[in-house]
Amino acid sequence: MSRIAAVVVALLISVPAIYPVAQACGDKFLMAGRGAKFQRAYASVYPGKLLIYSQSSKSTKTAIRDPQLYKALRQAGHTVSIIEDWALVEQAVKNGPVDLVLVDVAEAGRLQPLLASSAVHPEPMYVVSASSKSDAACAGMNCRLKSSDGTLKYLEEVESVMKARAKHAKS
């Protein structure tokens, strides 16, 4: 009997020593290449309806015309409308529920009166491009984004504006 007990104890001690350390909850995701990418895991706490005015005549190198930006915004839970014609922008802002309008800072002169006349009062988010003169164009405006910024920067700024908008709506 004692011999059987000794064999069982020896097996119980040696079996765990043969196998590597047990993987705790979530540890396997920390191994290289096994975790979810941030863009896929990111979900907006404050999803909103975004309108992006993207002129086709502008440089396609800017992030505001990047299809990956549109995809990331949609994956985060936002409703995104991309418009290339100013008349359609006017119609969308006046008729549809829009939370945020993303435009180049050069369009600020046309956008400010349009937003002021809207019943919903969407928030403007201006993007400073290389062609616009940033100092003169951004005077007194919220220019936190540059055309060279990456997708994550745009996601962070959109989330920040939507959070402020949600807090303002509660009060």
**Into how many domains does the chain fold?**
1
pLDDT range class, residue 60, cuts 50, 70, 90: very low
Domain extent for 60: 38-170
How far is residue 125's CA from residue 143's CA, in Å, rounded to a whole number?
7
**pLDDT, position 58:** 58
**pLDDT, position 88:** 92
> Reduced to 3 states, what is the DSSP secondary structure of residue 153?
helix
Residue with the bigger pLDDT between 138 and 24: it is 138
The answer to whether position 32 is within a domain reads no
Reply yes or no on whether the pLDDT at 151 is more than 80.
yes
The answer to whether position 20 is within a domain reads no
Reply yes or no on whether the pLDDT at 67 is more than 60.
yes
Work out the mean pLDDT of the chain and round it to a whole number: 79
pLDDT range class, residue 100, cuts 50, 70, 90: very high
The answer to whether position 30 is within a domain reads no
Q: Give pLDDT tens digits for 35-49.
A: 555 555 678 888 999
The answer to whether position 6 is within a domain reads no
3-class SS string, 77-138: CCEEEEECCHHHHHHHHHHCCCCEEEEEHHHHHHHHHHHHHCCCCCEEEEEECCCCCHHHHC
The answer to whether position 164 is within a domain reads yes
Reply yes or no on whether the pLDDT at 17 is more than 80.
no
Q: What is the reported pTM?
A: 0.70
Reply yes or no on whether the pLDDT at 50 is more than 90.
yes
Reply yes or no on whether the pLDDT at 107 is more than 60.
yes
Instruction: Give me the CATH number covering residue 101.
Output: 3.40.50.2300
How far is residue 114's CA from residue 134's CA, in Å, rounded to a whole number?
22
Compute how many other C-beta atoms are within 10 angstroms of the C-beta atom of residue 116: 8
The answer to whether position 123 is within a domain reads yes
Give whole-number Cα distances, 130 to 74, 133, 147, 159, in Å.
26, 8, 7, 24
The answer to whether position 16 is within a domain reads no
**pLDDT, position 37:** 56
The answer to whether position 42 is within a domain reads yes
Reply yes or no on whether the pLDDT at 11 is more than 80.
no
**pLDDT, position 66:** 82
